[in-house]
Structure 1
Amino acid sequence: MRRNDELIYVNAQKPAPDRFGAGFNISANAKGNAAMKCHVKCALLGVALLAAQSASAFSKPPDIAAEYATTYNMNPAHTGAVDFSEAFAPPFKMLWDKSFDVEAGYPLIAEGNVYVVTGEVDLFAYDLATGTQQFEHLLSVWNNEGAYDAGQLFYVNEDGLLVALDAKKGKPQWSVQLPHQSSFDAAPIAVNGRVYITGGGGGGDLYSVDEGTGHIAWDVSGLMTGGIGSPAFGNNGVYYDAGCQFYAFQATTGKALWFDGSLCSSSPSTTAYFAKKVYMITTQGNDVLRAKTGEQIGSFPGDFSPSIFKEGKRSFMLSVDNNETVATVYCTSLGSGNVAWKFDTPNIVWTPPVYAKGYVLVGDFDGNVHVLNAKTGVQVWTTKLSHPVFYIAAGQGAFVVSASDELSPNHSEVAAFAPQ
């Protein structure tokens, strides 16, 4: 029996903002003016050294694979969340800003680089800290979204040609033509040595491709449709919303785990996986399913798949409701179903919010980037770009915003930010 009590929205008081910080005192016991001057000079030198360290703190971002942004909405589970090993808090500074005469795609962050496709064909790699161009590679891609795993980048064109590139130099490693389908618009995911991608045009296929060789490990045909929504990975399962059919497959073999044809979405959409549950967009109100069985156990609001994060032992979901010219971001406790907080933006939101070590990053169609305290929803920092924000990714202690003007698609910018 279906239960809708997992995520029930109720009115909740906004928690009081967190209180940060404590001052520090420098004291010294000294005999005589000379000793006092020495202590003062040492203190000033220490302050200067701290300032110098702060100014150059982001010159070498931490190279931790778990802190990479490797595909659309951050990771193969599409949870839109990352916890950094080092400090991450406002105020933020712009590290660099790149402008283009074409639209810009979803930025990947890995190995100290930012990878972004512009105009759906031109792949650029920039140093995350400095913005220095590392390489440029022309692709026959026609898809602005790719994936990273284990030193390689993966992109597919609209006709199903999947290519692998070395992430350091952009050198091609292999390519393979995916069979049966003619429309490939979804972001691939890459994890545990496999690339997973969907294709449509004549029904739908879900492919699993070996990252090292390009060999197609398995190909499930006969899906209702495909090529638009990106699958999610979790607990050695691959989960896919094909429109009016939901599927789960064993990641290694492609064996079907379960199928649900009772629900329907207007079109295939990106699926999210978190804590043995799958979040899928449907026209009946969006559904939460058990990853193991496909049993419907709850529902959630929002215009696209949610972002999900943990604060301590508690888990929360970020969802967005757009209403004509404004949007509301909701943060909901997955334990109680209560709304922890909500935040109204001055314009619609086209991309899922991102959680990064205690903060929520939201971009809107006015080009605003809002940084919120994840516990309270209070805005703690903001900036504005020249174009509508379409993508935000956070990785390696920084975040990158991709903004494009949909009404005049010959203009875009990609900007990187880090703590001051």
Structure 2
Amino acid sequence: MIRGIGIEQTTAVAFNGASASFTVSSQYVLATVPTGATTGPVTVTTPSGTATSSSNFIVTTPETDIASTYQIGVDHSGVQSDAALAPPLAARWVATLDGTPSYPVIAAGKVFVTTWSGVANSGPTLWALDQATGTVVWSHPLPGPFGFGAAAYDHGLVFAVDFEGQLAAFDAATGAQQWSLQLPGQSQSTSPPTAVNGVVYVGAAGSGGTLYAVDERTGAVLSTNTVWNGDHSSPAVSGGSVFVSYACNQAYGFATTTLQLLWHYTTSCEGGGGKTAVVANGRVYTRDSFGDLILDAVSGSLLGTYATAAAAPAVDQSTMFVLASGSTPTLTAQNLADGSTRWSFAGDGQLDTAPIVIATGAGEYVLAGSASGMLYALDAVTGNQAWSTNVGAKIPAPDEQNTPPLAGLGAGQGLVVVPAGNSLYAYAHVPGPTLSSFAPANGPIGTTVTITGSNLTGATAVRFNGTPAASFTVNSDTQITAVVASGTTSGPIAVTTPGGTGTSSGSFAISDFALSASPASRSVALGQGTSFAVTITPAGGFTGTVALSVTGLPSGATASFSPPSTTNGSTLTIQVSHAAKPGTTTLTVHGTSGPISHPTTVTLQITKK
């Protein structure tokens, strides 16, 4: 929006030399920044000449994967595209604040929330936490005497509004206040702001209701329009339009920036209160005790209704995910094409959050929280549970009727952030483990094996060809030492973490030997001797020395090995005295090398002659 003297005769607008499309009114020119424009002055041409702005218009780069306001995006559809957020997830950090946190705004390397301590006549606080650690970077008290406070983000600025309608802008990096504005003409605000393309949109009430468009950089009011009655509904922005919805399904569509009325869906009543509308696929989804409606985003005409929702639905390209009200709140997936229900999920029976959707390279997942503290991630196509955890505190439902901070889940820039109790719980994707090498490549039972790889932190199991290790220690994210257990056979090594299971490309060989003796049976007369050939057959790189012994000798017989210890073979010699008794005996030959021991048997028949 460009203002100036004689501007109603504008014939051309350019951003740093790049021609722009525009529309002209008696008070301003509304120009669209053209593709390819760069930061620089704005020029406006009229029949009288060309005027150039005294300051540069800053062309910004779109920020990706951020959660800029309630229900993630400015359209409040609850959908986030973040390849780094595929389940499973693991706790990253917990930050405890002075009260129940609001929905999180995730951007600029930080997580922004408001809280209220619950102390009478005290206002909310705006917090900025480090995304990586959860530590507080800065905080700023908001002046209102009640608990409500809400935030939005756009290109380096955080915008916060309190119950008394004080709207302020803060530098996202430092917390330095840039400007403050008392929203004119109204006395209170419970409308979470929405900021996009240089404009902050927010509602307020007190005497009827007003929707405001405020310049992000200066805090100047760009335009206003009247609504019935301005409570709670966070402006939803999509396709050059702004949408709000209030009590009795009084829903509106306005043009962005100018707030020119495009349409008003009206009913036979009006009153206080409102609920945030959701915009997706050219449709506006409203919620009210008189019915949850689907309106055409262009005309405002009624297209249909949907199941009574306990919170804002999440809507992607093909499906609406709704937490349906009832004695057992149930999350349902409804096909947009025909309204049919694809799946439903009740969880522990206490689901209470507005769902959000995360689109990842591994698929699309729906996240929902429960009053019991459970957080669920469901496959968006099938409804199957992909992951869950208990955060450790009650996850609150969004209260769009009273004045506490508005609760909600958030996701973006590699984090899922959950307000619960007086804390924020942050979760991140757990990458699956990979195994790059292990040493030694072989060894006997009891060998300590060093496994090298990545993402090994949090390992819950190590297996050698399916047999659990006798013990293991996670030394670092890249190294584990594990002890080969009894009964293990040669095969690959597998490591399991919360992120999945990684398997070695090569096999660990169990160093062992086979023991045999031949022939299987010998006959020997009293006073004579005989022998058996004992053979050691190594396996898995076995190079040890085997000590030999024999048990089961009858009275009057003696035995000797030559050699008594060997790496390959030996001769067992039996001498039978005349005092021995004739008969058949089974002899057991034992071979032992360290912890490895194997037996084999032969038969000795003693005869009189």
Q: TM-score range by the shorter chain?
A: 0.7 to 0.9
> Which residue number in structure 1 is paired with residue 265 of structure 2?
260
Partner secondary structure for residue 150 of structure 2:
coil
Offset, 1:282: 3.0
What is the RMSD computed on CA atoms of the aligned residues? 1.8
User: Which of residues 291, 296, 306 is equivalent to 2:313?
Assistant: 306
> Which residue number in structure 2 is paired with residue 114 of structure 1?
111
Q: Aligned equivalents of 1:342 and 1:264: distance in 2?
A: 34
> Which residue number in structure 1 is paired with residue 209 of structure 2?
204
Tell me, yes or no, if structure 1 residue 156 matches structure 2 residue 189.
no
> Which residue number in structure 2 is paired with residue 41 of structure 1?
none
> Which residue number in structure 2 is paired with residue 368 of structure 1?
374
Contact 2:109–2:130 at 8 Å: present in 1 too?
Answer: yes
User: Which of residues 70, 75, 78 is equivalent to 1:77?
Assistant: 75
> Which residue number in structure 1 is paired with residue 96 of structure 2?
99
> Which residue number in structure 2 is paired with residue 386 of structure 1?
392
Computing the radius of gyration over CA atoms, which structure comes out larger, 1 or 2? 2
Offset, 1:251: 0.9
Query: Counterparts in 2 of 1:17-416, with a 5 A limit?
Result: 65-84=63-82, 86-119=83-116, 121-141=124-144, 142-221=147-226, 223-244=227-248, 245-262=250-267, 267-301=273-307, 302-310=309-317, 315-324=318-327, 326-357=328-359, 358-390=364-396, 391-404=408-421, 412-416=422-426
Q: Aligned equivalents of 1:272 and 1:259: distance in 2?
A: 16
Partner secondary structure for residue 389 of structure 1:
coil
Instruction: Please list every run of 5 or more consecutive structure 1 residues that lacks an aligned counterpart in the other structure.
Output: 1-62, 405-411
Q: TM-score, normalised by structure 1?
A: 0.78
Contact 2:95–2:135 at 8 Å: present in 1 too?
Answer: no
Partner secondary structure for residue 303 of structure 1:
coil
Contact 2:228–2:270 at 8 Å: present in 1 too?
Answer: no
Q: Aligned equivalents of 1:198 and 1:211: distance in 2?
A: 15
Q: Which is worse superposed, 358-367 or 385-394?
A: 385-394
Offset, 1:87: 3.6
Paired amino acid for 1:243: A
Q: Aligned equivalents of 1:178 and 1:339: distance in 2?
A: 43
Q: Aligned equivalents of 1:186 and 1:156: distance in 2?
A: 8
Partner secondary structure for residue 146 of structure 1:
strand
Q: Is the alpha carbon distance of 1:363 and 1:263 closer, same or farther for their aligned partners in structure 2, counting shifts above 3 Å?
A: farther
Q: Aligned equivalents of 2:166 and 2:98: distance in 1?
A: 26
Paired amino acid for 2:412: G
Q: Is the alpha carbon distance of 1:265 and 1:109 closer, same or farther for their aligned partners in structure 2, counting shifts above 3 Å?
A: farther
**CA deviation profile, 1:294-334 (whole Å, cap 9, x unmatched):** 11011111223311123xxxx1111012323x310001111
Paired amino acid for 1:401: V
**CA deviation profile, 1:30-78 (whole Å, cap 9, x unmatched):** xxxxxxxxxxxxxxxxxxxxxxxxxxxxxxxxx9723100111111110
Matched positions, count: 344
Q: Aligned equivalents of 1:111 and 1:177: distance in 2?
A: 27
Contact 2:149–2:162 at 8 Å: present in 1 too?
Answer: no
Offset, 1:136: 2.1
Q: Is the alpha carbon distance of 1:254 and 1:201 closer, same or farther for their aligned partners in structure 2, counting shifts above 3 Å?
A: same
Paired amino acid for 1:138: P
Offset, 1:387: 2.3
Offset, 1:254: 1.3
Q: Aligned equivalents of 1:125 and 1:98: distance in 2?
A: 11
Paired amino acid for 1:417: Y
Q: Aligned equivalents of 2:231 and 2:154: distance in 1?
A: 21
> Which residue number in structure 2 is paired with residue 43 of structure 1?
none
Structure 1 runs of 4+ with >4 Å offset:
263-266
Q: Aligned equivalents of 1:389 and 1:124: distance in 2?
A: 19
Q: Aligned equivalents of 1:263 and 1:298: distance in 2?
A: 18
Q: Which is worse superposed, 315-324 or 160-169?
A: 315-324
Q: Which has the higher strand share?
A: 2
Q: Aligned equivalents of 1:105 and 1:83: distance in 2?
A: 22
Contact 2:365–2:380 at 8 Å: present in 1 too?
Answer: yes
**CA deviation profile, 1:120-144 (whole Å, cap 9, x unmatched):** 5222212212223222222225423
> Which residue number in structure 1 is paired with residue 27 of structure 2?
none
> Which residue number in structure 1 is paired with residue 120 of structure 2?
none
Partner secondary structure for residue 345 of structure 1:
coil
Q: Aligned equivalents of 2:417 and 2:303: distance in 1?
A: 35
Q: Which is worse superposed, 300-309 or 67-76?
A: 300-309
> Which residue number in structure 2 is paired with residue 5 of structure 1?
none
Q: Which is worse superposed, 110-119 or 67-76?
A: 110-119
Greater relative contact order: 1 or 2 (C-alpha under 8 angstroms, separation 6 or more)?
1
Q: Aligned equivalents of 2:192 and 2:73: distance in 1?
A: 11
**Between the two proteins, what is the percent identity of the paired residues?**
34
Partner secondary structure for residue 339 of structure 2:
coil
Instruction: Please list every run of 5 or more consecutive structure 2 residues that lacks an aligned counterpart in the other structure.
Output: 1-60, 117-122, 397-407, 431-609
Offset, 1:265: 8.1
